[in-house]
Each structure stands twice: as structure tokens, then as C-alpha cells.
Structure 1
Amino acid sequence: MYLYNISLIIENEQHEPFMQWLQNEWIENLPAGSKLLKMLDSPHQGQTYCVQLNFEYANDIANFQKQYLSSLQQHIEEHFMGKVFLFDSTMKYLEK
């Protein structure tokens, strides 16, 4: 089982318009079980959020990236270039 995390760092001036789009347009179309979290005590300036999804197989993450992540990256490039920063990470659950 894998946890896929997308972290978004948003400059304060762009916080409201970006979050409106993210919640009303992008997150609404994500697979069931997707979680949006706000990072507390972030070391970054601005606001930091994470979108987290669980996947059974690593290949499912690549499919998600093609279907969903690319549209998020494109929207950031077109409307929030230099104001919203994105990085993603994949983690594997360890079993005892």
C-alpha cells in the first residue's frame, strides 16, 4: 500500500483564489478517499496544504499523475506561476 502526497505552498496574496479553484474544481474530481490537509507550523512562508491519496499499487500513482496531477500543474503554470509551489512524494507503508 502506498501513500501519495502532494504538497502545495501558496503565497498569502494568492491563497484565496487558488484555494477556491483547488477545492471547487480540482479536488471535487479526485478519487474517493482523497484528503486535503493544512500543514500547521509550516517552515515555509505563506500557506501549506497537502493532498493525500492511498493506492494499492505503485502503477496506480503513475496513472493518477497522468490523469489528475498534470491538470493541477498546468493550472498553476497558467494562473499562479511563481506564487504556488508544488512537490510530490510517494511513501510505502511498512508492515511489521
Structure 2
Amino acid sequence: MYVYNLTVVVNNEELATWNEWLKNVYLPTVNRSNLVENVRVFKIMDMPEPHYAIHHEQQNPQEMLNFIQDVLSDLLKEAAQQFGEKVLFFGTNLATLTI
């Protein structure tokens, strides 16, 4: 399993607007792409300001790469235009470790 973890730091002033964007733009776009098998949103509990982790799950590494290049990059550009530095994103590629 491959997971693209997108960590999001949201300024309190933008929290309500970002939540609406996540619900009405981000998640529907990700789901329509059919390049991600599952997407889950987590609130990071031990941070003073709102932090979230969005997990995008996929079995196929090429499909994950296609998602990152073709879908996610456009969404992050849109978010940068709308929120500027009040909502920050950084991503990490993860793979399941079999022990």
C-alpha cells in the first residue's frame, strides 16, 4: 500500500473557509480522479493551531504518481491562490513496511 500524506497547517482565521474548500472542492476532485483508492482526513491532536493529515491511499505506485502530478499539483496551486500563506501544505510519500 502506498500513502501520500499531505500535512496541512491552517491559520485559525481561515479554518471555516478551508473546511468548506476541503469538503466542496478538494475531496470531490480527488474522488472524481479515480487515481486514489481511499482518502481519509485526520486532525492532528497535539498541535496548538489546526493541523490535519490527509491520507491518499493507492496500491499502484504509478497511479499515485499520476495523482500527485496531474491532480494534486493543480489543487495545491488553487489553494495557494485562495489562501496564500494562511494554509500551508507539505507532503510525504509513504509505503507499507512488511516486517
Please give the TM-score of this superposition, normalised by the length of structure 1: 0.86
**Equivalent position SS for 2:6:** strand
- 1:95 alignment partner AA: T
From 62, 79, 84, the equivalent of 2:82 is 79
**Equivalent position SS for 2:84:** coil
Matched, 1:13 2:29: no
| Separation of aligned partners in 1, 2:28 and 2:45 | 23
Q: Which runs of no fewer than 5 residues in structure 1 stay unpaired?
A: none
Q: Which runs of no fewer than 5 residues in structure 2 stay unpaired?
A: 32-36
From 70, 77, 80, the equivalent of 2:73 is 70
Compare the two structures and name the one with the higher helix fraction: 2
| Separation of aligned partners in 1, 2:7 and 2:73 | 14
How much does 1:15 deviate?
Answer: 0.8
Aligned 1:4-83 pairs, distance under 5 A? 4-31=4-31, 32-42=37-47, 45-83=48-86
| Separation of aligned partners in 2, 1:12 and 1:75 | 19
Task: Tell me the number of residue pairs that the alignment of Structure 1 and Structure 2 aligns.
Answer: 94
Identity %: 23
Range with bigger deviation, 78-87 or 55-64: 55-64
Runs of 4+ in 1 over 3 A off after TM superposition: none
Please give the TM-score of this superposition, normalised by the length of structure 2: 0.84
User: Considering only aligned residues, what root-mean-square deviation do their CA atoms show, in Å?
Assistant: 1.5
How much does 1:76 deviate?
Answer: 1.9
